[in-house]
Amino acid sequence: MASNIVPGNIDATYPKAGEDNSSQGFRDNFSSTKNNFTEAKTEIEDLQSNKASTNADSNFSDYVISKATFKDTAETVYPQGTQGGAITIDYHNGHYQTLTTNASITLAFVNFPANNALGRVILDVNVVSTAHTITIPSAVLVSGGVAGGDGSSDTITVPTSGRYLYEFMTPDNGTTVLMHQLGNNYI
């Protein structure tokens, strides 16, 4: 951002010692000083509003951060709780979401990022006591390695109780969602 503060508008040699200085020179300098302070105030407020905070959440509004090195970072875990039936996986809730099923579930996805940005969610499903099915939207393409899925239907049968990890990825705002299994039957 270029600054609109123009220090050159102020005549630093005015008033001139030993001369009869016109009052217009004073008015011009005061006007330029006021304009520069007004611009400085606007620019400082903009910096305060649009900074990355080290002591609070920062929202980058989908702007690109490039050439960054991350160290000691974490991803948010969002607990969906214990439920069955229709489950909405909201991308805004975080990249790692947990769910304990008490019945079969039907998944829906919302708020994936725009086209040409990869959205990824890991779903950690804990199946309690009996086999349940997971019905997925038709936009989901299931990898051949998903236990309980045959790749030809929108239903995955989780064969036994235990913990199952699935990853869902989309590069096109959810038009196509790729699903694979990261692990199964953790006991």
**pLDDT reported for residue 123:** 96
Query: What's the burial of 109, exposed, middle or buried (CB within 10 Å: 0-12/13-18/19+)?
Result: buried
Give tens-digit pLDDT for 19-78: 888 888 888 888 888 988 899 899 888 888 878 877 888 888 778 888 889 899 899 999
Give tens-digit pLDDT for 133-160: 889 998 898 888 777 766 666 888 776 7
**pLDDT reported for residue 7:** 78
| Separation of alpha carbons 109 and 93, rounded Å | 11
| Separation of alpha carbons 184 and 129, rounded Å | 15
**pTM for this model (two decimals):** 0.72
Phi/psi at 186 (nearest 5 deg)? -65, 130
Range of the domain at 37: 7-49
72 found inside a domain: no
Q: Sign of dihedral through CA atoms 4, 9, 12, 15?
A: negative
Say if residue 89 is in the same domain as residue 175. Answer: yes
**pLDDT reported for residue 150:** 60
116 found inside a domain: yes
**pLDDT reported for residue 84:** 92
Total domains, the chain:
2
Say if residue 104 is in the same domain as residue 181. Answer: yes
Give tens-digit pLDDT for 85-125: 999 999 999 999 999 998 999 999 999 998 889 999 999 99
Q: In 3D, which of 92, 87, 100 has the Cα closest to residue 136?
A: 87
| Separation of alpha carbons 109 and 123, rounded Å | 12
User: 77 near 101, Cβ under 8 Å?
Assistant: no
Give tens-digit pLDDT for 1-10: 688 888 788 8
Say if residue 94 is in the same domain as residue 173. Answer: yes
Q: Please give the angle made by the CA atoms of 51, 73 and 96, to the nearest 5 degrees.
A: 105
| Separation of alpha carbons 180 and 160, rounded Å | 18
User: 50 near 57, Cβ under 8 Å?
Assistant: no
Helices (H), 3-101: 23-49
| Separation of alpha carbons 97 and 117, rounded Å | 20
Say if residue 119 is in the same domain as residue 179. Answer: yes
**pLDDT reported for residue 26:** 85
Say if residue 138 is in the same domain as residue 101. Answer: yes
